[in-house]
Amino acid sequence: MPESRPLPTVEYKDFSRRLHERYGQRNRVIKAQLEITYRCNLHCLHCYTDPYNRRDFLLKELSLDEIKRILDEMAALEIVYVNLTGGEVFTRPDFFEIYDYAYHKGLLLMLYTNGTVFTRAIIDRLKHSPPFSIDISCHSVNEEAFDRFTQVPGSFRQFLKGMELLRHSGLPFCFKTKAMNWNKEEVPEIRRFVESFGQPFGFTTSLSPRLNGDLSSLEYRLAPEEIRRLERRELHVSQDDEPCQETSRWTASSTPERLYRCGCATNTIHISAWGALGTCTMQYEHRVSLRDYSLTDAIAKVFADVRARRYTTDSPCRTCAIYAFCDKTPTDARRELGDAESPVPYDCAVALTRAERIVNQSFTHPLRVQGATQAGPPGS
Ligand code: SF4
Ligand code: SF4
């Protein structure tokens, strides 16, 4: 009988880092975010997809057959990770048809959910063919505040029920918290809740305009000084949700003329619930419909467009010394200020406090640098 030898093991963080380094350099797509619906049982006030969570818009969403075709193409391209997201993924009636199809293609599945719709049946089904990870939004652990912000009475109790089912399931999960002006005092309590599940706590702070251009979600932003205080106090800041930022901030091209100096158009794609392919969740400047193009052709076209895009104005972003600390995206700038190249004063102020905290030195405010003409410095 041949001698059995144990398979070598590797820590996930090392595996993931190597994969990103290897394929990031080759500009090969390894990760896809697939919004399977804008439908959701909640209506969070900061949610960018919520305006399209309406019956008349649901008719525009990708059909099961279209999603299967896209998953076939992803598998053929040897994409490794597929993040199924929404809306709320479990509200799609054919969710498990999509899930099982992707699972049997060998794709590593990551699920984003609000955690309020778990039932014993859903948990058992997932245990039968477990996902790679489940990310749960956790923006409050206060019943009154949670229900007010989701605009659905009883949603907090549903969330707690879901978390108790998950706690004992053995499924891999973690929490995502967005710190905003309405929950900032709660952050230590949220942290304790998250840590009670044996999970590390982290939070993000960036908010984007809604997909239909409505800016009301920005009302929930923290003031830059509050972000500074919170980041100091709570120490650990998680990676932003946007996939491009995972690989990008410190490694991507710093060619100053490039409009996208993040990781956009390297190794990640994003597909909207209506089938529009882009390079990340918040990139809507360059999209191609997968109803008109194959996945391969869509990636080639969109990546070429994004990589070719250069600043054409004397925007301060072009020469900004602290851009690596900045959350600005061209799409957010267009929605907020009407111009993808324009600096976003709020993002400038946050980037400045972040850069000074992390690098521990003073920087000139990007909008006060000589020649900065796009917008006046914010009052803060
Ligand atoms: S749970 Fe998520 S998808 Fe649903 S409304 Fe809230 S933020 Fe939007
Ligand atoms: S900090 Fe301001 S100027 Fe610099 S990249 Fe961000 S938005 Fe542009």
CA of 246 to the centre of ligand 2 (A): 19
Report how far ligand 1's centroid is from the alpha carbon of 21 (Å).
32
**pLDDT confidence of residue 262:** 86
Confidence of residue 246 (pLDDT cuts 50, 70, 90): very low
Confidence at 80, pLDDT banded by 50, 70, 90:
very high
Which residues line the pocket of ligand 2, CB cutoff 6 A?
A: 316-317, 320, 322-323, 326, 328, 343-344, 347-348, 351, 366
**Confidence (pLDDT) at 261:** 87
Please report the atom of ligand 2 found closest to the CA of residue 351.
1
Distance 17 CA to ligand 2 centre (A): 28
Q: Is the pLDDT of residue 378 over 80?
A: no
CB burial readout 28-62, b (16+ within 10 A) else e: bbbbbbbbbbbbbbbebebbbbbbbbeeebeeebb
Q: Where is pLDDT greater, at 19 or 46? A: 46
Span of 2-11, 45-54, 224-233, 368-377 with lowest mean pLDDT: 368-377
Output the CA 99–ligand 2 centroid distance in Å. Answer: 39
CB-based contacts of 275, cutoff 8 Å, min separation 6: 62, 66, 70, 289, 290, 291
Per-residue confidence (pLDDT) for residue 233, from 0 to 100: 81
Q: Output the six-digit token pair for 339.
A: 């111009």
243: tokens are 């996939």
Q: Ligand 1, atom 7: nearest CA belongs to which residue? A: 47
Atom of ligand 1 nearest to the CA of 46: 7
- Around ligand 1, the residues with Cβ closer than 6 Å are 40, 42-44, 47, 49-50, 86-88, 114, 137
- Do you find a cis peptide bond into 278, omega within 30 degrees of 0? no
Under 8 Å between Cβ of 314 and 363? no
> Which domains, ranges and CATH numbers included, belong to the chain?
22-308 (3.20.20.70), 313-380 (no CATH)
Q: Please say if the pLDDT value at position 98 is more than 80.
A: yes
Residue 352 Cα, ligand 2 centroid: separation in angstroms? 9
Q: What is the pLDDT of residue 252?
A: 41
DSSP state of 21: H
**In this prediction, what percent of the chain has a pLDDT beyond 90?**
80
